Amino acid sequence: MDPSQLHCLSAGEAARAIAAGQISAEQLVQACLARIREVEPAVQAWQFLDEAHALAQARARDADRAEGRPCGPLHGVPVGVKDIIDTADMPTEDGTPLHAGRTPDRDATVVAALRAAGAVIMGKTVTTECAAYTPGKTRNPHDASRTPGGSSSGSAAAVAAGMVPLAIGTQTNGSVIRPASFCGVYGFKPTFGLIPRHGILKLSRTLDTVGLFARSLDDLALLAAPLVGHDERDPDTRPRARIPFTETLASPPPLPPRFGFVKTPIWERSDESTREAFAELVQALGGTAGGVVEEVEMPPAWAEAWGWQRCIMEAEMAFNLDAEWQRGREQLSPALRQQLERGRAIAALHYQLAQARIPQLLGALEEWFARFDALITPATPGVAPPAETTGDPAFCTLWSLAGVPALNLPLLSGPGGLPLGVQLVGERARDARLLRSARWLQERVLS
């Protein structure tokens, strides 16, 4: 292998090569650091990156292997971590001057799980301000005038730009699927409650979900497996059996999966080119007449769900960022300040009424998932817009509210050849099956 091209390896390839002694973790991290030096000036994906510290971790992993210590599934593989996720050895500044210089004592549960799996924590990736809407410095690797999407901006951009094969982020509304769509990488927001959130900046207990970025479905599976778990400090996680992500993804579906194509009540927000691209995608899958795809109509009443999500998100943000509001609201962006003001004005009655809609929504979705293995819907209204915003999360909102697993597949392109994602949505707790259905669809489309 050409040592200068090791950053192009998938995480799975890299882990296997390290395990087999074909390459060292240090060589891999060196190649990724070289790639970062090359493209970071344009992309600006990193909030914190200490080359020496990354290399020291890599050498420690190489020493593990040399001394015969057990190696985890991500042994020696560098992973980017969104800068709202605590790391004991690096600052975690949450994208706000209010937390500048913040240095947590401990790793978040997911970071500890990554280290236990052998990963090298490469550095901290840029987040929007408090994982809300105000952009950080990161630019889209495909066009530096455009946004990478947010709020997991740096994680998506770093994976897209070949700086790291894997990264983790979080989604409360569209913060994983949207940047994955804009940056042209695979994004995965698992079922709510699957991955513990302890040690991560809280925005919304009801909605916050850890999400993953990679350049293939296999790599998503590889990354997801060690992160799933029960942590008493995240009361929405539960003890559950190990999920065989990689094994399920490697096996063919017992029956050809069936897909529901859902335009959703916000279809009019999508660009013309997006509508055309999805029409072509449905054609490529054999059309809606007797093919594997059926177009499903969402009851117009569901349009209210966007308001419920906003009510819950803003009410919970006002609570979780109350200390920041009290201490230094003048240091928040006007957009975030307005959002928190709205959240502070929400009545407990409306908040509870919105919460009560989630089980209703899940009940309605259950009927669809009795007919379909997955739903197909846009990830974003179109390609990445100019960098002043992080783009519209609306095509992710409903699935964040429902807590169902969602994937971004970078299968389409829009104006200017910019990436455009296909979002696949699955049933709660059927995450591995969603990955398998995604592979089946992707092979069909790309063949």
Which residues carry out catalysis?
A: 82, 151, 175
Regarding 279 and contact with a copy of itself (CB under 8 A), the answer is no
Contact indicator for 306, 361 with CB cutoff of 8 Å: no
Regarding 304 and contact with a copy of itself (CB under 8 A), the answer is no
Regarding 370 and contact with a copy of itself (CB under 8 A), the answer is no
Regarding 20 and contact with a copy of itself (CB under 8 A), the answer is no
Contact indicator for 169, 155 with CB cutoff of 8 Å: yes
**Phi, psi at residue 252, to the nearest 5°?**
-70, 150
Q: Which two tokens stand for residue 358?
A: 């989630």
Scanning the structure block, which residue is given the tokens 């928040």? 332
Query: How far is Cα 160 from Cα 95, in angstroms, rounded to an integer?
Result: 21
CB of 312 to a copy of itself, least distance (A): 9
Binding-site size, a copy of itself (CB under 8 A): 17
Query: How far is Cα 212 from Cα 411, in angstroms, rounded to an integer?
Result: 17
Site for a copy of itself in 320-349 (CB under 8 A): 322, 343-349
CB of 318 to a copy of itself, least distance (A): 5
Of 218, 234, 316, 324, the residue at the interface with a copy of itself (CB under 8 A) is 316
Residue 91's Cα: distance from chain center in Å? 21
CB of 238 to a copy of itself, least distance (A): 10
For a copy of itself, the closer CB: 276 or 322? 322
CB of 199 to a copy of itself, least distance (A): 17
CB of 266 to a copy of itself, least distance (A): 25
Q: Which of 119, 169, 160 lies closest to 142 in space, CA to CA?
A: 160
Query: How far is Cα 125 from Cα 47, in angstroms, rounded to an integer?
Result: 5
Site mask, a copy of itself, residues 350-369, x = CB under 8 A? xxxx--x-------------
Determine the interface stretch with a copy of itself among 20-28, 173-181, 311-319, 384-392 (rule: CB under 8 A). 311-319
- 3-state class (DSSP) for residue 14: helix
Query: How far is Cα 429 from Cα 241, in angstroms, rounded to an integer?
Result: 11
Query: Residue 123 belongs to what H/E stretch?
Result: strand 120-125
For a copy of itself, the closer CB: 202 or 263? 202
Instruction: Summarize as ranges the residues that interact with a copy of itself (CB under 8 A).
Output: 315-316, 318-319, 322, 343-353, 356
